Amino acid sequence: MRKIKFQMQVTLDGYVAGPEGEMDWMTWNWDEELKEYVGAITEPVDLIILGRVLAEGFIPYWTGALGEGEEGADKMVNTHKVVFTKTLTENPWANTTLATGDIAEEISKLKSQPGGDIMVYGGARLASAMIKNNLIDEYHIFVNPVVIGSGMTIYNDLQDRLNLKLVETRSFPCGINVLVYNPVEK
């Protein structure tokens, strides 16, 4: 069965965006070590999962970056994407499928299909739903060296404790620390 990986940037105080969705706190001057790390975890990925709000910025950004030769753009553009949405009725993107059903059922179908790893990038609502339903096999949390005091979290919908096992930590010269966790079976 395919593995669901989750990659999310967070602040040191655990927020994924500011109170109004601001993401200007993210560290983007990634060093070569971090770029290589991201390349290694995305190499076996052949499906990307996004929420609709994130997809509206993510897909056009990477499509434009492909023409500029930005590192990683080829992977982001040419990997098939599934966008979870409750509002879209027509698909505006190439190489993308819309998912409108129950998240647990849709993820189960995707995991049972042949293929490589599946990467979930979020946004916050999709991430919250996936965490709440225990649908993630491997968490890659990119802790940025910033505290913003308030904002959006991905753990608000959690109704039960989520026990995780730390399997790896990596510190990078740009200041980002990556924490890798696997869920602990109950």
pTM over 0.85: yes
Tell me the per-residue pLDDT of 34-62, one tens digit each, with 9 for 90 and over.
Answer: 999 999 999 999 999 999 999 998 898 88
Q: Which amino acid is at 61?
A: Y
* Rounded Cα distance, 147 and 17, in Å: 11
Tell me the per-residue pLDDT of 61-111, one tens digit each, with 9 for 90 and over.
Answer: 888 888 777 788 889 989 999 999 999 989 888 899 999 999 999 999 999
User: Omega of the bond prior to 67 within 30 degrees of 0, cis?
Assistant: no
What pLDDT does 186 receive?
57
DSSP tag of 152: B
What pLDDT does 185 receive?
78
Tell me the per-residue pLDDT of 158-172, one tens digit each, with 9 for 90 and over.
Answer: 888 899 999 999 999
Could you count the other beta carbons within 10 Å of the beta carbon of residue 150? 9
Q: Are 12 and 143 in contact (CB under 8 A)?
A: yes
* Rounded Cα distance, 181 and 137, in Å: 9
Q: Are 78 and 50 in contact (CB under 8 A)?
A: no
- Stronger pLDDT, 2 or 157, i.e. the higher one: 2
| Domain range annotation of the chain | 4-183
- The third-level CATH classification (topology) of the domain covering 4-183 is Dihydrofolate Reductase, subunit A (3.40.430)
